[in-house]
Amino acid sequence: MKKIISINLKNNKYNILLSQLDKDFLTAFKKIQKTTSLFIVTDKIVEKLYLQKFSDLLEQQDFNIKTAVIPAGESGKSIKNLSFLYNKALESSINRKSCAIALGGGVIGDITGFFAATYMRGINFIQIPTTLLAMTDSSIGGKTAINTPNGKNIAGVFYQPKLVWINTAFLSSLPAKHIKNGLSEIIKYAVVFDRKFYNYLLSALKNGIISSENFDYIISQSCSYKAKIVEKDEKEITELRAILNFGHTFAHALETATKYKKFLHGEAVAIGMLFAAKLSLELKTCKEKTYKEIKSILQLSHFNLNVKFNAVQFLSLMKKDKKSVDGNIKFVLTKDIGEVINSYVKDDIVLDVLKKFSGATK
């Protein structure tokens, strides 16, 4: 399948290209990159799997390739590694006309984007996502960031790529737990935007797994939802882009409370979506049927939804979340599958639902 989804922003227009063919990528890439100097950033796992083949492909087209490899996993998004990228780029004579290529998951996309935004006041960069989460979420929309010792995504900037190339062939080597990690955000798109897509996912889920023949459709749908939102609210200034945070306020509290060690982000978001549905039910923004529909797709995906926590601690973590204003927590609540609203919720109600939710979701 070859599909192009355009993102039309005020000062920047770029394409998401979905294709398994190298020639489609090369044609699109040569349109946006006019010099031969490339800087590929990847992590140690993706390096072993794909870097040589990908570098060869570009070298055959007379590109001049320099590479930088950082450790795999969330720890890769550090100030130390950012500094390593600046040094490596300087040593490799990467200049203002060069292009950085993020070859990897969301970690690589985020740090490479931040590097590209700041190196010599900004150089071109493209995203080649290799995880399901990166293909459907993090590679699109221009959010870049690194972590600091005090927290996640503390230093970041909006900086759009010039191209996103999604090749689902990369998913053949992705461990099942990381496929599931991406599935959670895909379910979020269905719940937030589209009942038809929700029904499609229900029928595509077999034993908690989405088989690979469904990937093209699921990924292109997900990219379209995200692209539309980013076009309308590039920098999360209005409330629109915030709806993509459905389930995330609780998820961030859960990730912080467990020091980012116990849950992958998608696993935390799955539980967070159920919490948001429960809160919506208590506030009567949705009916019992909608709550059950959200719960059942998460159960069918085999997410562990039973989590025990300290409700008072979680309330205070949620209030610290960057989406909270003047101590009031703003939630994305569901009205029905495909329909959400942003709403401030009083602390006592949140606390009450947190208490009911803890350990009670089996």
Ligand X SMILES: NC(=O)c1ccc[n+]([C@@H]2O[C@H](COP(=O)([O-])OP(=O)(O)OC[C@H]3O[C@@H](n4cnc5c(N)ncnc54)[C@H](O)[C@@H]3O)[C@@H](O)[C@H]2O)c1
Catalytic residues: 121, 143, 185, 226, 236, 241, 245, 248, 252, 265
Neighbour-count burial for 322-342, b at 16+ CB within 10 Å, e otherwise: ebeeeeebbbbbbeebbbbeb
Nearest CA-CA partner of 298 in 133, 187, 200: 187
Closest distance of CB 240 from ligand X, Å:
15
CA distance 162 to 17: 11
> Within 13 Å of residue 230, how many CA atoms lie on the same side as its CB?
28
**Which listed residue (73, 122, 151, 208) binds ligand X by CB under 6 A?**
73
Neighbour-count burial for 23-35, b at 16+ CB within 10 Å, e otherwise: ebbbebbeeebee
Interface with ligand X, residue 157, by CB under 6 A: no
Task: CB nearer to ligand X: give 73 or 359.
Answer: 73
Closest distance of CB 108 from ligand X, Å:
6
**Which listed residue (138, 168, 184, 256) binds ligand X by CB under 6 A?**
138
Interface with ligand X, residue 186, by CB under 6 A: no
Written as six digits, the tokens of 246 are: 């459905």
**Which listed residue (77, 88, 162, 180) binds ligand X by CB under 6 A?**
77
Closest distance of CB 287 from ligand X, Å:
30
Which H/E stretch holds residue 57? helix 52-59
Nearest CA-CA partner of 351 in 299, 290, 275, 284: 275
Nearest CA-CA partner of 159 in 248, 232, 234, 94: 234
Task: CB nearer to ligand X: give 140 or 294.
Answer: 140
Closest distance of CB 249 from ligand X, Å:
15
Interface with ligand X, residue 106, by CB under 6 A: yes
Residues that bind ligand X (CB under 6 A): 43, 45-46, 49, 72-74, 77, 104-108, 110, 130-131, 133-134, 137-138, 141, 143, 153, 170, 173-174, 178, 181, 265
